Amino acid sequence: MRIGQRLKQQFGMETEAERKKRVAREKKKIEKSHSYFKKISQVKEQNTISSIPTEALKTLIWKESKNYFKKRGRVFQVDNDNKDFLHLISLYFSNNPEFENEYGGELRKGLFIHGSCGTGKSTIFDVIQIISKKYKLPYLWFKNVSVHKVITDYNLEGEYVVKKHSKGKVHFDDLGAEKLANSWGVKEKLMTRISELRYNEFKAKGTKTFITSNLTIKEIQKEYGERVYSRFFEMFNFLELSGNDRRF
């Protein structure tokens, strides 16, 4: 929507024709979103699988990671930097109680994965999502979105974006690297607000959130404040993925 149109809407200066066009656009966008999530919901209702054996999931992660990297002209490797991490990821996404015994975490919580650039933090969520779709394991499904896209969409579409990303399982990639959101000249750290809304969803419904970030939890405290810092401890298991940049 152009700035002039937004100002017209704000001050009630739209013509009836402009208003009808705007309402039609917004309705079409909402219907598209509702249709997508309804489709996902129906798949879940048809398939009640809530876990996959850990060793089977490890095999799929190995297979699909090799395919994922091959398509990008690279080679998937398991080494001392990611071996333990991939083991814990396999325990977690197979709902294996050993995740709690070995790591001391909680399966009911989401994941906050931190580490330097290029270690494979985002890739593991791409691979898990591929496995979910390819092998019809809807319990593994989550929405995968970059925080940069969240901010860009909010600047264009407004509060609808906040509502959309406040519910359901979501992986937010690259937290801490996003710019300030800007709506009607008001700037804010939008992910602070979304994080607090998702905390409420977690408390009320157990809705999981997944986050990948180059920031440590202490740096999250500095960037987003004490409230988010405190809530993250209740919402997440914290895993570090160490090593050098694998993009080179």
Above 90 in pLDDT, residue 247?
no
CA atoms within 13 A on the CB side of 15: 4
Q: Are residues 104 and 201 in the same domain?
A: yes
Q: Are residues 9 and 103 in the same domain?
A: no
- Angle at the Cα of 219 (from 227 to 108), degrees rounded to 5? 60
Q: With respect to residue 248, please indicate whether it lies within any of the assigned structural domains.
A: no
Q: Are residues 1 and 79 in the same domain?
A: no
| The pLDDT of residue 29 | 57
Q: With respect to residue 247, please indicate whether it lies within any of the assigned structural domains.
A: no
Q: Are residues 213 and 102 in the same domain?
A: yes
Arithmetic mean of pLDDT over the chain: 88
Q: What is the Cα–Cα distance from 147 to 231, expressed in whole angstroms? A: 19
Q: Are residues 128 and 220 in the same domain?
A: yes
Amino acid at 107: L
Q: With respect to residue 226, please indicate whether it lies within any of the assigned structural domains.
A: yes
Above 80 in pLDDT, residue 2?
no
Above 60 in pLDDT, residue 103?
yes
Q: Are residues 159 and 39 in the same domain?
A: no
Above 70 in pLDDT, residue 203?
yes
Q: Are residues 38 and 115 in the same domain?
A: no
| The pLDDT of residue 183 | 85
Residue-wise pLDDT tens digits, 42-100: 444 444 567 899 999 999 999 999 999 999 999 999 999 999 999 999 999 999 999 99
Residue-wise pLDDT tens digits, 223-235: 999 999 999 999 9
| The pLDDT of residue 20 | 78
Q: Are residues 80 and 124 in the same domain?
A: yes
Residue 86: give its domain's CATH number.
3.40.50.300
Q: What is the Cα–Cα distance from 169 to 151, expressed in whole angstroms? A: 18
Q: With respect to residue 245, please indicate whether it lies within any of the assigned structural domains.
A: no
Mean pLDDT of 239-248: 88
Above 80 in pLDDT, residue 36?
no
Domain that residue 163 falls in: 47-240
Q: With respect to residue 101, please indicate whether it lies within any of the assigned structural domains.
A: yes
| The pLDDT of residue 58 | 96
Q: Are residues 123 and 12 in the same domain?
A: no
Above 60 in pLDDT, residue 40?
no
| The pLDDT of residue 185 | 86
Q: Which of 29, 46, 63 is the last residue of a domain?
A: 46
Q: Are residues 141 and 31 in the same domain?
A: no
Q: Are residues 111 and 38 in the same domain?
A: no
Q: Are residues 24 and 71 in the same domain?
A: no
Residue-wise pLDDT tens digits, 113-141: 999 999 999 999 999 999 999 999 999 99
Residues 6 or more apart from 5 whose CB is under 8 A from it? 14, 18, 22
Q: With respect to residue 82, please indicate whether it lies within any of the assigned structural domains.
A: yes
Number of domains in the chain: 2
How many DSSP H helices and E strands does the chain contain? 11, 7
pLDDT: which is higher, 126 or 10: 126
